[in-house]
Structure 1
Amino acid sequence: MADQRLIVALDTTDRARVEALVGELGELVGYYKVGMELFYSQGPDIVRCLRQQGKEVFLDLKLHDIPNTVAQALRPLVGLGATMLNLHASGGTKMMKAAATALREEAKLRNVPCPKLIAVTVLTSMDATEWESLGCVREIAQQVSELAKMAQAAGLDGVVASSQEAALIRKACGDSFAIVTPGIRPAGSATDDQARILTPREAIEAGADYLVVGRPITAALEPRKVAEDILRQMKEGKL
């Protein structure tokens, strides 16, 4: 059975490439992230296709607008069967509460399992220099912690955050609050455009529940071999 803590990011517009990658990874990977690139180019059918193959889907659209707009935008997404959806915590408490309410109402109306709803805190591509250039007074880690607490109070299931802040979030929000961490890079791999990163083992040890890994796997000459290595590193962390 696949380790559902590993989510492979399908950040591409190429449907054929997605099908080939999912086929190559086979039973090893059971959870995939469909982001803006893939969803906007291929449409909702890509989510349905993955679900028909028995795969879990994190639909990563990072919704951010006024409360009513986000709430109504989430309703049709419930019907796609994604396991997890997200929005930006910086949209505020009212937006997050409206979204959580709409999601649960829609799932009940459709008589389907309610997807997890999580909030993006601070993008993992953001470093301290760029953060300061935005005029932010709090340090990144402090802001992430505060946004996580806001999301939990608004009724969300978890957050997206750098693995570097995972331990802080776990302390602030408890064991039942989901922490999804992108910016994972196996030891020795390129950082690409990620700034706040950890290795798979470090992320698990810090308290992350799910690791989102894209280019280290999807751009590799042997994706399955890299995925196997990442899963091995994850098992070396705390279970």
Structure 2
Amino acid sequence: MDDKARDRLIVALDVDTVEAARALVTTLGDAVSFYKIGMELAYGGGLALAQELKDAGKRVFIDLKLHDIGATVERATRQIARMGMDFLTIHAYPQTMAAARAGAGDLKLLAVTVMTSYDDADLQEAGFAFGVADLVARRAAQAKAAGVDGLILSPLELSAIRPLVGPQMLLVTPGVRPAGADAGDQKRVMTPAQAIAASANHIVVGRPITRAADPRRAAEAIVAEIHGL
């Protein structure tokens, strides 16, 4: 299978133990080259696993969605950069992005625009005076100005945001579900082929692979779908 297509799939290791994550990685084998470690696993020993994955030749995305005072964000980002990780998420607030940029070195930063579990009603409840599309566009422009490498956004915003940020910015999208799969807690979703066709550089897929009866086969089917575009 095409290595480039495989590299565009990021599998989310959203499990609660390192042992479960290792078992998944073993099952997936060379079908997957890129993994995401989020907060659940990171707080259960996942950062050590991240180093194991890097040592095994995998790419690793640390999904901690940093947002704190500037000095703290800068130092935390520098720690992840020292580990040699590939991607790190931060929230797309201007101060947070500037601080992370100061600590990132060669680490690629991905700014979270609006969580894919949110819709317009959720933003209104949180006190925002505008909807998802407007907030994503505003934060995308601020991320580009801050020199951030990429964005986390839903696949539904891809076609509108790509012209605003240009071809060089990485667009990485969760909220991707194969046709017929349960959307779960995601509210703004597309299939893998739709997301890639809409200009996503990478798609993040968790449960449709990790909870599949045959995870390797599920991953290979998504890579084949990407390769076929």
TM-score by length of 2: 0.95
Distance 1:72 1:81 in 2: 15
Q: Deviation at 1:77?
A: 1.3
- Indicate if the aligned counterparts of 2:38 and 2:63 stay in contact, CA closer than 8 A: yes
- Indicate if the aligned counterparts of 1:181 and 1:212 stay in contact, CA closer than 8 A: yes
Matches within 5 A, 1:36-185: 36-89=39-92, 92-104=93-105, 114-185=106-177
RMSD: 1.2
Task: State the match for 1:194 in structure 2.
Answer: 186
1:217 aligns with 2:209: yes
Any stretches of 5+ residues in structure 1 without a counterpart?
105-113
Any stretches of 5+ residues in structure 2 without a counterpart?
none
Q: Deviation at 1:128?
A: 2.3
Give the 3-state SS of the residue equivalent to 1:44 in structure 2: helix
- Indicate if the aligned counterparts of 2:18 and 2:46 stay in contact, CA closer than 8 A: no
Task: State the match for 1:111 in structure 2.
Answer: none
Q: After the TM superposition, which segments of 4 or more aligned residues of structure 1 sit over 4 Å from their partners?
A: none
Task: State the match for 1:20 in structure 2.
Answer: 23
Q: Deviation at 1:85?
A: 0.8
TM-score by length of 1: 0.91
Task: For residues 68-100 of structure 1, give each alpha carbon's deviation from its aligned partner in whole angstroms, at most 9, with x where no partner exists.
Answer: 1111111111122210111000xx223211210
Task: State the match for 2:32 in structure 1.
Answer: 29
Aligned residues: 226
- Indicate if the aligned counterparts of 2:123 and 2:130 stay in contact, CA closer than 8 A: no
Distance 1:38 1:213 in 2: 16
- Indicate if the aligned counterparts of 1:13 and 1:42 stay in contact, CA closer than 8 A: no
Task: State the match for 1:109 in structure 2.
Answer: none
